[in-house]
Amino acid sequence: MTDLSTDDIALAGEYALGTLDHATRDTVAARIGRDAVFAAEVALWEARLDPLNDALAPVAPPAALWRGLEGRLFAESPRPSPWRWIAAAGALSTAMLAAVLWFGAPLATGPGPMWVSDMVSEDGSVRLAALYDEDRGEMRVSVGGEAAPEGRDFELWLIAGEAAPISLGVMPEAGQAAMPIPEDLRPLMLNATLAITDEPAGGAPGGVATGPVVALAALRRI
């Protein structure tokens, strides 16, 4: 057997996390049965991730928090939102996977301090894991699930304190992307919230979100 590629390692991590669609999971399960090296990598991921479940518990935000964020994003067009915050329990597991996508190795070998935000739409159809390296001022995003509707783009926003949301750019349809963070925004990244909105192709006109919000989650240090 040859050494596993970075893509193979990431695939093993996704299988252990349970984020693959049904057809892909069946394909990977079949590979585990015939590829001992790949099966060992899956087992390593499961060993790394399983202990995290014992230390984590879901965290529900205050009811007023969402209303305040949406009011700032869409002050001129208030509307009830169908989206809710996801539980915090999956954040550390996603960070481990994102680290592999970035570094090709477990997070322990990376530079740090690191911050993670795991954004998943309520129906699970859109997923975005963001890993921010505070020392480098760089962020990597891993996009999965359904693409934006035709003629639309998903855009990523930084929400820090009481300041207006700041666009971090239009997201790729799928895969990974590097996002250098401008120096003046780096202090705002710590303990901030990231949000995804559905915008016209090319991004929100004038850098002002038009929505709707697809998903959002806080950046947490790991």
More confident residue, 6 or 80: 6
Determine the number of helices (DSSP H) and then strands (DSSP E) in the chain.
7, 9
> What percent of the chain clears pLDDT 90, i.e. is strictly above it?
16
| Per-residue confidence (pLDDT) for residue 156, from 0 to 100 | 93
**pLDDT tens by residue, 160-169:** 888 889 999 9
Most confident of 54-58, 99-103, 110-114, 211-215: 211-215
**pLDDT tens by residue, 40-51:** 888 888 777 766
Average pLDDT over residues 126-130: 84
More confident residue, 111 or 143: 143
| Per-residue confidence (pLDDT) for residue 66, from 0 to 100 | 56
Long-range pairs of 30-33 with CB within 8 A, sequence gap ≥ 24: none
Structure tokens at 88: 């915090």
The H-assigned helical ranges of the chain are: 6-17, 22-34, 36-49, 52-55, 63-73, 91-103, 186-189
What is the residue-averaged pLDDT of the chain?
75
8 conformational bin, left if phi > 0, alpha if psi -120 to 50, beta if neither: alpha
Structure tokens at 214: 């697809």
Burial class of residue 179 (count of CB atoms within 10 Å of its CB; 0-12, 13-18, 19+): middle
- Mean pLDDT is lowest, of 90-99, 142-151, 178-187, for 90-99
**pLDDT tens by residue, 44-84:** 887 777 665 555 555 555 556 556 655 655 554 444 333 33
In the predicted model, is pLDDT for residue 177 greater than 90? no
Cβ burial 121-150 (10 Å sphere, 16+ → b, else e): beeeebbbbbbbbbeeebbbbbbbbeebee
Task: Single out the residue of 86, 108, 113 nearest to residue 96, CA to CA.
Answer: 108
The CA distances from residue 191 to 68, 146, 161, 176, 206, in Å, are 17, 28, 9, 23, 26
Cα(27)–Cα(186) distance, integer angstroms: 41
Tell me the whole-structure pTM to 2 decimals. 0.56
Q: What is the DSSP letter of 50?
A: T
Average pLDDT over residues 31-43: 84
